[in-house]
Amino acid sequence: MARIDLSNVEVMFPPSQRNGDPVTALSGLELSIGDSEFVCLLGPSGCGKSTALNVIAGFVQATDGAATVDRKYIEGPGTDRGVVFQNANVFPWLTVEKNVGFGLTLKTAKGRRDNGEKVATILKRVGLEGFEDALPMELSGGMLQRVGIARALVNDPSVLLMDEPFGALDAQTRIIMQELVLELWEQQRKTVLFVTHDIDEALLLGDRVVVMSARPGRITEDIRVKLPRPRSYAMTTTPEFMALKAHLFDSLHSEAVRADRLEARA
């Protein structure tokens, strides 16, 4: 798989038309994710979670510090990193099969011979077998996110980056999708960074839960989740899970209070 390292990363966005001051989204961010490790990045809205993920994806350039995958500097997007967004972002005019296989068509002709087999395999793995010819408008929200996950996995990336992919789903569908991600990770053991603001989701999925402060984002806590695998949603009612949840809730609440006081002083 691959190792991810962020060292003293800062991201500063230039002034906008509404605000004449630059915005520092990340400051002194230090984060290391080991091969095959599943890390959840937890924090309040606007703390820079998605910005950190976008630096690793290659969509955002750090203004200071170093960002590497497998000790190679990140200079832009690459097929070694698959991204699942908050919205599925599918092409509405393409079928499920063609949406998932779109990235493969950008590769060399030599690599296209087995594209159909790769797409069929990943569609079966995410539970979309039989929906190959369906259009996005015919799918539910959960099925659309399955398309997004399949599209990210079909290139067999070593790193999977997931940016609050289940935030817009209803509670029941969200549980189903969380258990799907757990199953896929058990099968493939990719290096995963999963951005969320949901404590239960972070603890259910992650080997570690990394907590970020309010903007400018930095790491305030890094907790190893010593819950047995394989996991299921039933684990969320255990005493061990509830104790970790209470600790994280207190950490996030303390940080929220601190951020409110700083904003009030400003």
| Residue 188, CA distances (Å) to 30, 37, 122, 253 in order | 26, 11, 12, 35
pLDDT tens readout for residues 79-115: 899 999 988 889 999 999 999 998 887 665 555 667 8
What per-residue confidence (pLDDT) applies to 17? 63
d(CA 193, CA 180): 16
**Is the distance from CB of 196 to CB of 169 less than 8 angstroms?**
no
pLDDT tens readout for residues 157-183: 999 999 999 988 999 999 999 999 999
Answering whether pTM is above 0.75, one says yes
Total residues belonging to the chain? 266
